[in-house]
Chains A and B, each alone.
Chain A
Amino acid sequence: MDLSLTIGGPQGGGIDTSSNMINRAFAEAGYNVFGVREYHSNIKGRHSYNHLRVKEVRPRSLKYPVDILVALDPDTIFEHLEDIGEGTKIIYDKSFETSDLAQARLIMRDTARRIKDTLDSASVPNTIKGALELARKKGGIPMAIPFSEVVTAAISEGPASRYFNTLGSAITLSIAGLEQKFAEEAIKQVFSSKPKAVEDNVKVVAAAYVYAKENGFAGKNLKVLPKIKRLLLTGNDGAAMGKLMGGLRFQTYYPITPASDESSIMEEHEHLKYVKAEQNKLREGGVVVVQTEDEISAVTMAQGAALTGSRSSTATSGPGFSLMAEGISFAGMDEVPIVITLYQRGGPSTGLPTRNGQSDLLFAMNTGHGEFPRMVISSGDVEECIYDSMNALNYAHRYQLPVIHLIDKNLANTTDLVPDIDLKKVKVNQAVRPTTTRLSFKRYNLDTENGISEMGYFGNDVFWMTGDEHDEIGHVTEDPLVRDMQMRKRFRKLETALNEIPREEMVLLLGEKNADVTFVTWGSQKGPILDVIDDLKEEGIKANLLYIKMFEPFPEDFVKQVLGKAKLIINVESNMLGQAARIVKLNTGIAIQNNILKYNGRHMTEDEILKAAKEIISGKGKNLIEVLENGA
């Protein structure tokens, strides 16, 4: 099975609950679900949707057209006309049929104009009826369902619309052929703390299944797979968990999309539970999460905590990261171990506040004035978010510098079923604190080969710190010789890092060693490109992926070695400038000519990357740069 679906409706209309239910129902039957959440910068009303894919094996990308489009409002049908193809089933409330485009006031005006053009050029009216007529022309199958009637037959009290999301999801599950018991089990999990909601929603599920069966919508029984325990996680979840596993005990943040979920998750889990083997050995402790007055405070407060020995971090997105620049420069100068998790969204400025982007890579490489060592790493899937967050804290403490961990919005809002979290995958490098007080401690001891001076701890040691250039105990100096020595000491840490860190944590060559096509990417395009590589293989084209995880220090030798002998290189990024390609060129001298880029803020899908790659491979590409445009 390979089922793609989109469920859309008004923001605040229970879209997430629907997806959660669909995810859990399929998971109950042993299937794997992968999804991405798209939404406007809006609390209630504007169009929001989840794009999901269900497979027996773990999906790692999404694609269009979808097999099922669930519309919980008329806007969804208008917004997703492009996602409809041969055989797409469109589930919607029959009452939508009286709506027209002019009434859809919460569709962005430019989008509405575009939809109007689409409808006009198909010579259909600017109404839902017209849209459905167009959908039919494209091979879509509209399935009108009297939402209110079905719900009121099952539940008499309260507004029927409250259950439309459950109804739409249940109809979807029925069409997919999933047994009713799995849908009911999903309801129990989704509403676990509300027995009355479970009762009511289970009734709606039953009604939906009956309706689908009576009207011939129900799909033929889907085979049930052996069920294994899994964790339903987003990228935000993964980062929060990984940080706590990596020993984080102090987190600061200022609310910003799509970063703050990470901190909220920690606030919900302040009380950390230990594995049995450690329960009697370790004292219980918790994580302190502080919502600060701004991001300047977030990055400096996290540093204050780090000076006492806490493993600390902050999480933000582009606008907040811009405010952190001066603080990051201080962390570089004063060798403060902190992690800044940078959730990238579409910039510049406020940009596309709730949409995807990878346009902050060059900024992350250069944030802050002056020259100082930093590390810049990136994750490409939910599991990487977990282990990279642990590694980020390890790097910060080993090399005593700011570590910037890039996660794109697409990954932050990806939901994935993770089979297992390996507690023994990454060792946590917490140092033992000294037991005596060390006065005038040489925190910036120059007598070090690898550039790393022994860590000092406030509350234990007396030493000084200053943003000014400083001597070994941290007092201000403007002595030219000490300046040179401290500069060289700080930068030596990056050479040490490059020598010590396993290459696999920096860059990977995925797929066949020898290939006709070598993709280069970072972040959340990893999954779709791996699927594209499989697709190309079926067409007889051998491809592989140079997947970059660390940009500073940069694994120059390996990248040079792979790209130096690559036959056709295609760089894939969610930005306009090809920022990773620029870094590759800067470090290796290799200029990548072919680029697949996307900067409309939507996630890259398997089908569009495949199409663009084939254009490039066949030499038919109009340009060396293919710009992708999928997504509502």
Chain B
Amino acid sequence: MAHNFKSDIAVDWCPGCGDFGILTSITQALSELNLDPKDVIATSGIGCSGKTPHYLNIAGVHTLHGRSIPFATGIKLSNPNLKVIVPGGDGDMLGIGAGHFVAEGRRNSGLTIMIFDNEVYGLTKGQAAPTMALGERTKSLARPNVFAKVNPITLALTAGYSFVARGFSFDMKQLKEIIKTAILHEGSSVIDILQPCPTYNNINTMEWYRQRVYKLDEDKSWDPIITPGNEGQAAEKFQRAYERGSEWGDRIPTGIFYDNRTIPSFHKRLNEFVPNYYSNPPATQVVIGSDGYTPIDVEATFPEKIIH
């Protein structure tokens, strides 16, 4: 029987929360990719989005606030054969964890990062998140937001992510397909997911987004993919992705902005130096000899330390 990727834990998100659509899109994507549940791990941070791993019937870590990326990277690099998905909030990824978010773009470890973007810190009663625009005042704010917003798409692009996309939690068909493509992408991917918070964000509501979102691939000539042999297209496609990624307001683009398959993943880079990295990774290496002691020949490994 096919594995049910939905766990039996009761979901405690607010009625009408955009997170439900994301959860369904993830479970459908995992099912359609026909992945073995033991080969996919979910790591999250803190907040409403942080609960996602518990709702998925795959191994999951609900880590610390902002630290889902390094946890995920450790899992992926210790066993590069696993798929690691990283659901997290906008505060998680772009506030407290922004340093890790940028560093992961440079690494390109092969994580599927999903930003649950609702512009507020919901679980702590609706404070402004890093994606909220300057001067915006949602109902729980004492005064208009005094911070300017960070743009997840252009930040991901400049950080070096090799796959950058945006989905809308109320368009599960599109979101599911984006997630599938991202999971199959060898390097790290970022999906900015527009996800209305019905309790604390009375401005960026489902209706508000519905009126504005459009799909990049409505334009038949839109082609964000760079394949090996076509590295020369990267600069121009990056430029176009950046331009479209900067668009926000009356029209908000969704879909895949950038999909560069020529940037070597971090595990590929490590594989240049670490023997048998893919077939005998740290996670599954036998580190003892048949007698239970270390098999390492210290003198052969560290010959320069010996004084004969």
Contacts and interface: CB of A to CB of B under 8 A. Distances in A.
A278 B297 CA distance: 10
Contact of A308 (B64, B78, B302, B307): B78
Given A231-B307, A249-B285, A307-B61, A284 B276 contact: yes
Contact of B282 (A305, A426, A460): A305
Interface centre among A269, A274, A462 (most CB of B within 10 A): A462
Interface string A424-458: 10111010010001010000000000000000011
A303 B61 CA distance: 11
Contact of A428 (B41, B274, B292): B292
A302 to B, nearest CB: 6
Given A231-B306, A271-B275, A466-B54, A304 B75 contact: yes
B62 A417 contact: no
A626 B73 CA distance: 49
A250, A458, A464 — most chain B CB neighbours (10 Å):
A458
Contacts of B43: 304
Interface in B45-104: 46, 51, 53-54, 57-64, 67, 69-79, 81-82, 99-100, 102-103
B287 A249 contact: yes
Nearest to B283: A308
A301 B77 CA distance: 9
A311 interface: yes
Interface in B181-223: none
Contacts of A28: 307
Contacts, number: 264
Interface residues of B, number: 72
A278 B306 CA distance: 22
A326 B64 contact: yes
A466 B280 contact: no
B306 A458 contact: no
A157 interface: no
A172 interface: no
A296 B297 contact: no
B286 interface: yes
B289 interface: yes
Query: Which of A281, A304, A310, A461: most chain B Cβ within 10 A?
Result: A304
B305 A231 contact: yes
B250 interface: no
A462 B307 contact: no
Interface string A277-318: 110011111111010111011101111111111111000000
A322 B283 CA distance: 28
A464 B60 contact: yes
A439 B307 CA distance: 53
Nearest to B300: A273
Contacts of B102: 293
A45 interface: no
A305 B78 contact: yes
Contact of B103 (A245, A285, A297, A330): A297
Given A250-B78, A327-B64, A466-B54, A421 B298 contact: yes
Nearest to A23: B307
A305 B69 CA distance: 12
A467 interface: yes
Contacts of B58: 462
Given A270-B273, A288-B274, A458-B59, A293 B293 contact: no
A309 B284 CA distance: 7
Identify the interface centre among B43, B61, B77, B276: most chain A CB within 10 Å of its CB. B61
24 contacts: A227-B308, A231-B302, A231-B306, A244-B301, A246-B294, A249-B78, A275-B296, A275-B297, A282-B295, A285-B276, A285-B281, A294-B99, A303-B74, A307-B71, A308-B74, A330-B63, A423-B293, A439-B37, A457-B283, A459-B79, A464-B59, A464-B61, A465-B63, A476-B54
A-B pairs with lowest CB-CB distance, top 7: A304-B74, A247-B287, A249-B282, A305-B78, A293-B103, A308-B283, A466-B62
Given A308-B282, A310-B283, 4 more contacts: A272-B301, A296-B67, A424-B291, A466-B61
